[in-house]
């Protein structure tokens, strides 16, 4: 599909748009994202140690219950409307950790509740997170397939 050529007016408009577009405060955003994201990961580390010391998980296996716990926290924060504010304030800092993934699932579920549990909650739950699962699974499939073929059949 070729891009449509812009008419003279559209070009003019794009120029005006560029002039008036708000400059994004990149540095400020990055610092906030670093601090918030880092803090979330530090909380995750504390939860990891909690599982290692009290439930006999090892460092390798403790990441599974940690992720589940973080998503539980994100359910509470989303439900009370705190995560939305955090997201506006910190951008990627709260979106990139797994809590952001949980937030996108949970907020979609809560938002569509009025449409009923089957057609609303069930159908819309993965509206935002579905793309992450799709591309995650497909890329993992390709990577694992290539690696398995290389290791088992070619013998590298």
Partner 1 sequence: MLAMFFWAFVVGGLICVIGQLLFDVVKLTPGHTMSLLVVIGAILDGFGLYEPLMDFAGAGATIPITSFGNSLVHGALQEAEMHGIIGVVTGMFEVTSSGISAAIIFAFIGALLFRAKG
Rounded CA-CA distance 55/47 in Å is: 11
How far apart are the C-alpha atoms of 88 and 100, rounded to whole Å?
12
121 binding partner 1? (CB under 8 A): yes
CB 97 within 8 A of CB 44: yes
Whole-number Å distance between alpha carbons of 110 and 114: 8
Which CB, 13 or 79, lies closer to partner 1? 79
Under the binding rule (CB under 8 A), the answer on residue 149 touching partner 1 is yes
Q: How far is the CB of 68 from partner 1 (least distance, A)?
A: 4
CB of 54 to partner 1, least distance (A): 15
Measured from the CB atom, the residue of 13 and 72 that comes closer to partner 1 is 72
Among residue numbers 2 through 41, which ones bind partner 1 (CB under 8 A)?
24, 26, 29-30, 33-41
Which of 127, 36, 121, 31 shows the shortest CA–CA distance to 87? 36
Q: Is residue 4 left, alpha or beta, with left meaning phi > 0 and alpha meaning psi from -120 to 50?
A: beta
Q: Does 50 bind partner 1 (CB under 8 A)?
A: no
Residues in 87-116 that interact with partner 1 by CB under 8 A: 91-93, 95-102, 105-106, 108-111, 113-114
Q: Which CB sits closer to partner 1, 9 or 59? A: 59
Question: What's the burial of 99, exposed, middle or buried (CB within 10 Å: 0-12/13-18/19+)?
Answer: buried
Is residue 144 a contact point for partner 1 (CB under 8 A)?
A: yes
Place of tokens 């006999």: 56
Q: Shortest approach of partner 1 to residue 15 CB, angstroms?
A: 18
User: By rule CB under 8 A, what count of residues binds partner 1?
Assistant: 78
């Amino acid at each position: 599909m070729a891009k449509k050529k812009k008419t003279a007016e559209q070009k003019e408009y794009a120029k005006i748009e560029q002039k008036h577009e708000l400059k994004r405060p990149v540095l400020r955003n990055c610092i906030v994202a670093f601090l918030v994201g880092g803090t979330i990961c530090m909380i995750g580390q504390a939860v990891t140690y909690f599982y290692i010391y009290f439930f006999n998980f090892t460092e390798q296996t403790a990441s599974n219950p940690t992720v589940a716990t973080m998503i539980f926290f994100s359910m509470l924060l989303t439900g009370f409307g705190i995560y939305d504010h955090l997201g506006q304030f910190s951008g990627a800092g709260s979106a990139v950790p797994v809590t952001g993934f949980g937030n996108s699932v949970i907020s979609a579920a809560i938002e569509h509740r009025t449409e009923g549990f089957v057609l609303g909650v069930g159908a819309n739950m993965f509206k935002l997170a579905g793309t992450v699962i799709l591309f995650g699974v497909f890329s993992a499939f390709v990577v694992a397939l290539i690696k398995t073929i290389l290791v088992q059949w070619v013998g590298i």
